[in-house]
Structure 1
Amino acid sequence: MDRRQPLPPLNPTRAFEATGRLLSISKAADELAVTPAAVSRQVRTLETYLGVALFERVKGRLELTSAGARYLAELIPIFESLRYAADSARGRESGSRVLKIRSPATFAVRWLIPRLASFHRLHKEIDVQLTTSSVPLDFTREEIDGGIQLGVGNWPGLRVERLIPNILVPVAAPSLKLKAQGKLRGETMLHSLARPDDWSLWLKAAGFPLHVKRPAMRYETSLLAYQAAIEGHGVAIAQKALIRAELDSGQLVQPFRLELDRGGYTYYFAWPTGRRPSEELKIFRDWLATQVQV
């Protein structure tokens, strides 16, 4: 007997993916060619099915909850695969060109996906298939054209271009009222398991004693740690380029002045040295360069 759980309702899941990716019910409605009210109903249906809240309103802005951020990170590569499957079926006749890119979920959600719409507007003939994973890139086993990887950028067999600087800053929701410079007493430290050294490096640079035990919560990815900070659960150590929008909007604040430049340990775009890059990859690489300069 098949004991697998039934699939979640697909139309509500599709509405959630579009709303979470765009962080806008009206934009999701435009993309799906339905009314905003219909999108809201579908999202509520999915929340009822899952038994968790996926969105909340923060100062009038739509934001993902921690559960919503986790679910969206899992759904994005699934929907990209569905789009690719459909494009592939049509592309055999239409001659569409596919570019397969892999990225860590944090970088994909916080930096790449918000910018991909501009690439699609410029290059409608190229279909980007985006998948997410934090494991090291392996072009000998994976059917991908290029990828984004976190590290120092000196991987054998790969050519790389740095994407964003690695400026580390503590961030918190304004509701925590961390106004006193030089104090971090009793606050919960939000850690990313993918970047375990960031807090200790910043604390050392700021002159804080490392032996002091502080309340802490640990998350699988920085994506989840940032979301927990937005929701007021503690202070996260963040790569500034990935939370700039929240700093500009006031959803997050920097309670300390020190910004630590961790040098070359950051996100790089990579492709194999032993393979001639396709024209699609060159176009995507050039487009990335324009986005990095913005």
Structure 2
Amino acid sequence: MDPLPPLNPLKAFEATGRLLSVSKAAEALSVTPAAVSRQIRALEEFLAVQLFDRVPGGIQLTPAGARYLSEVSPLFAALRTATNRVMGGGYRRHVLKIRSPATFAVRWLIPRLASFHRQHPSIDVQLATSPAPLNFEREDIEAGVQLGDGDWPALRTQRLVPNLLVPVMAPRHAAPRAMASPQALAGETLLHSMARPDDWALWLQAAGVTGINPYRGMKYETSLLAYQAALEGHGIAIAQQALVEKELAEGTLVAPVAFTLDRGRHTYYFASPLDKPETAALQAFREWMAASAAA
């Protein structure tokens, strides 16, 4: 029989490779970082292969480490699923791991998730957020939401919402002159998302507005923060209309200019890897996302 590495070093490697952090792996495993480092060294000695490289600011997987992680991760996922079933007293549950950009998660997905749980009480959704592109080889997730044109050959994609860009602001600061034409925005403070730095430039160009620097104004890390700044009356944000529908309907935000820019294919997509079969839970979630987007 071929030898197998001990379980504890494997657990330390899987957690460290998944999180790319010894300290975070230690926290997840309820041990010290020194203990995790010892277990990884023991595994590297057992395999006679270096699994991690130290780089400025942290660690990264070596090519051999990345291959090994991609092979052991499904085994740990299966172990977690089996454990969940046992702990559930035989009631079969599935933990569906999804990742999304924070703005989309907070403003579109989370407000709708309760309806999914009502329809599928045996499926637990575990939602994480990050602006980074989805990486199914490095991350322990089954699917996610990604912003782009949807042209990702290795992914199964589903368009979620139209990308209509519209300026929004708090109603108490919406002066009549701002309603006249897009050119009236010249005297206003523009609010920007650094995650989408060109949205104002694209909108102003499409609206035929000249004489306004599209990159001036206040800048925020995410659209979520820019929308909040608009709600607080700090200026005018360029928003994706689908993500501020509630505020526009309630009147807490208004669109001072009627012109909208349709970005076409460039929008949010639900995506999962083509080379992996969909579980029943993921298929149910995909169908629910499609129905929610259509509604």
Q: What is the letter of the counterpart of residue 206 of structure 1?
A: A
Asked if the contact 2:100/2:144 (under 8 Å) is kept, the reply is yes
Q: Which of 95, 114, 128 lines up with 1:131 in the alignment?
A: 128
What is the rounded CA distance, in whole Å, between the counterparts of 1:139 and 1:130 in structure 2?
15
Question: Secondary structure of the residue that 1:218 maps to in structure 2?
Answer: strand
Query: 1:258-277 to 2 correspondence within 5 Å?
Result: 258-277=259-278
Cα deviations by residue, 1:65-95 (Å, 9 ceiling, x for unpaired):
xxxxxxxxxxxxxxxxxxxxx9997543213
Question: Secondary structure of the residue that 2:227 maps to in structure 1?
Answer: helix
Residue ranges of structure 2 left out of the alignment (5+ in a row): 1-79
What's the counterpart of residue 116 of structure 2? 119
- Offset, 1:150: 0.5
The alignment yields a C-alpha RMSD, in angstroms, of: 1.9
What is the rounded CA distance, in whole Å, between the counterparts of 1:88 and 1:131 in structure 2?
22
Cα deviations by residue, 1:197-249 (Å, 9 ceiling, x for unpaired):
11001111111115547750001110000010011000000000000000000
Bigger mean CA deviation after superposition, 272-281 or 204-213 = 204-213
What's the counterpart of residue 283 of structure 1? 284
Q: Does 1:176 align with 2:173?
A: yes
What's the counterpart of residue 96 of structure 1? 93
Question: Secondary structure of the residue that 2:272 maps to in structure 1?
Answer: strand
Distance 1:177 1:272, change over 3 A: same
What's the counterpart of residue 160 of structure 1? 157
Deviation beyond 2 Å, 4+ runs, structure 1: 86-93, 177-180, 210-215
What number of residue pairs does the alignment pair up?
Answer: 209
- Offset, 1:121: 0.7
What is the rounded CA distance, in whole Å, between the counterparts of 1:157 and 1:269 in structure 2?
13
Q: What is the letter of the counterpart of residue 157 of structure 1?
A: A
TM-score normalised over the length of structure 2: 0.68
Distance 1:275 1:89, change over 3 A: closer
Q: What is the letter of the counterpart of residue 277 of structure 2?
A: R
- Offset, 1:185: 2.7
Distance 1:213 1:103, change over 3 A: closer
Bigger mean CA deviation after superposition, 213-222 or 157-166 = 213-222
Residue ranges of structure 1 left out of the alignment (5+ in a row): 1-85
Percentage of identical aligned residues:
57
Q: What is the letter of the counterpart of residue 125 of structure 2?
A: V
TM-score normalised over the length of structure 1: 0.68
Q: What is the letter of the counterpart of residue 110 of structure 2?
A: I
Asked if the contact 1:186/1:215 (under 8 Å) is kept, the reply is no
What is the rounded CA distance, in whole Å, between the counterparts of 2:275 and 2:215 in structure 1?
48
Asked if the contact 2:81/2:94 (under 8 Å) is kept, the reply is no
